[in-house]
């Protein structure tokens, strides 16, 4: 029960402090990379409680299992590319999977992608028609206890 309370608190506090509650989630399913545009409503369903690194306490992560991916697949998924193509792009780049996914999504809207370090409470990863989005790929961390405590 303690972990459920921590999870609920992380989700609630993250949603309160996030610049945007709009998301584009990326994940591997059936040999392909998929993207789903959604809101914070799915956050408690598709995220998990995990241990943060470097003394951060617990973290809230997008680390979907098969059943969580099925939930995402029920929300108008968009096929991005094959898993093989995606892995080749990552292998031949200086960027990680999350950054490559963010780049692919940003460029799919005709916007030039540039790597940034904008915190989740300051801005989104992408803005389209005045709507900001956080972009997350599998294994991404939303936040942790230490960050939320620092934000007050």
What pLDDT score was predicted for residue 31?
Answer: 98
What pLDDT score was predicted for residue 71?
Answer: 97
Our measurement of the distance from residue 100's CA atom to the centroid of its chain's CA atoms, rounded to an integer in Å, reads 13
| Tokens (6 digits) for 28 | 């591997």
What pLDDT score was predicted for residue 1?
Answer: 61
What pLDDT score was predicted for residue 62?
Answer: 97
Tens-binned pLDDT, residue by residue, of the chain (152 aa): 679 999 999 999 999 999 999 999 999 999 999 999 999 999 999 999 999 988 889 999 999 999 999 999 999 999 999 999 999 999 999 999 999 999 999 999 999 999 999 999 999 999 999 999 999 999 999 999 999 999 98
């Amino acid at each position: 029960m303690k972990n459920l309370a921590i999870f609920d608190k992380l989700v609630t506090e993250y949603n309160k402090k996030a610049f945007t509650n709009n998301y584009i989630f990326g994940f591997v399913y059936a040999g392909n990379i998929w993207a789903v545009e959604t809101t914070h409503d799915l956050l408690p369903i598709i995220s998990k409680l995990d241990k943060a690194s470097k003394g951060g306490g617990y973290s809230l992560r997008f680390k979907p299992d098969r059943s969580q991916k099925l939930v995402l697949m029920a929300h108008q998924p968009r096929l991005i590319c094959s898993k093989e193509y995606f892995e080749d792009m990552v292998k031949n780049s200086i960027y990680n999977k999350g950054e490559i996914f963010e780049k692919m999504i940003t460029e799919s809207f005709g916007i030039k992608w540039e790597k940034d370090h904008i915190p989740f409470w300051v801005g989104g990863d992408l803005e389209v028609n005045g709507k900001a989005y956080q972009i997350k790929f599998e294994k991404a961390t939303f936040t942790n206890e230490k960050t939320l405590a620092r934000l007050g």
